[in-house]
A and B are shown apart, each in its own frame.
Chain A
Amino acid sequence: KNQVEQSPQSLIILEGKNCTLQCNYTVSPFSNLRWYKQDTGRGPVSLTIMTFSENTKSNGRYTATLDADTKQSSLHITASQLSDSASYICVVSPHASGGSYIPTFGRGTSLIVHP
């Protein structure tokens, strides 16, 4: 069964500090990996997407990396802001050649940024 595991489950940091969130997956064959940001009480919003051949993608202060060999991804947040407080969800989509194209969602990492 395809799985996506995220760590840590929750994280508290001070405003201005950097942090890195982890995502390990077993989805194979693999189509793409996305990171979503979900503010409390809102729907998730896409931050980055990476395909099999990409190993890094940036979106402002957010940088995602991908190691397809070890099936690991990370999301690095630089110079955190209070507005970064949210849940960050890793989503891995299988390649249709594997018989299914339903994405697998991780449980998310809850990030709290304190002033």
Chain B
Amino acid sequence: NAGVTQTPKFQVLKTGQSMTLQCAQDMNHEYMSWYRQDPGMGLRLIHYSVGAGITDQGEVPNGYNVSRSTTEDFPLRLLSAAPSQTSVYFCASSPSGGPTGELFFGEGSRLTVL
């Protein structure tokens, strides 16, 4: 099993550009989520999904879109990148219990917005 795979690992954008961070898991987990990690702050939940076709907002959803068409994939879209979105993004999945279960994280995607 590859676990949770995120691409790309690194990305540089200009203000106003859009892009999609990809996340795929091969563990058949129903719950998937996106977090951002900024220096000196804890991981913050952006969006999450409890199953295919179901998504919901987390703590910091503004400027991001998600969709969940399959169990395996949960892409995160930045609609119009801003410097405040410079961060490290983590995708995580959980086999049961939703967000309160054990989270399996990807390796992260480091995004810089100029």
> Does B100 touch A at the CB level, under 8 Å?
yes
Give how many A residues have a beta carbon under 8 Å from the other chain's beta carbons.
Answer: 25
Chain B residues whose C-beta falls within 8 Å of the C-beta of A103 in the assembled complex: 45, 99-100
Query: When each residue 23-52 of chain A gets 1 if its CB lies under 8 Å from chain B and 0 otherwise, what string results?
Result: 000000001101010000111111001000
> What's the minimum C-beta distance from A91 to chain B, rounded to whole angstroms?
8
CB-based contact B100/A105 at 8 Å: no
CB-based contact A102/B42 at 8 Å: no
Interface residue SS majority, chain A: strand
CB-based contact A44/B41 at 8 Å: no
> Does A7 touch B at the CB level, under 8 Å?
no
Interface residue SS majority, chain B: loop
Chain A residues whose C-beta falls within 8 Å of the C-beta of B108 in the assembled complex: 41-43
> Does A74 touch B at the CB level, under 8 Å?
no
CB-based contact B90/A43 at 8 Å: yes
Query: When each residue 89-109 of chain B gets 1 if its CB lies under 8 Å from chain A and 0 otherwise, what string results?
Result: 010100000111011011110
CB-based contact A93/B103 at 8 Å: no
Please list the 3 inter-chain residue pairs (A to B) with the smallest Cβ-Cβ separation, ordered nearest first.
A43-B105, A105-B42, A93-B100
A-B contact pairs, 20 of them (CB 8 A): A4-B42, A41-B107, A41-B108, A43-B92, A43-B105, A43-B107, A44-B103, A46-B102, A89-B42, A89-B43, A91-B103, A94-B100, A96-B100, A101-B99, A102-B99, A104-B42, A105-B42, A106-B42, A107-B40, A107-B42
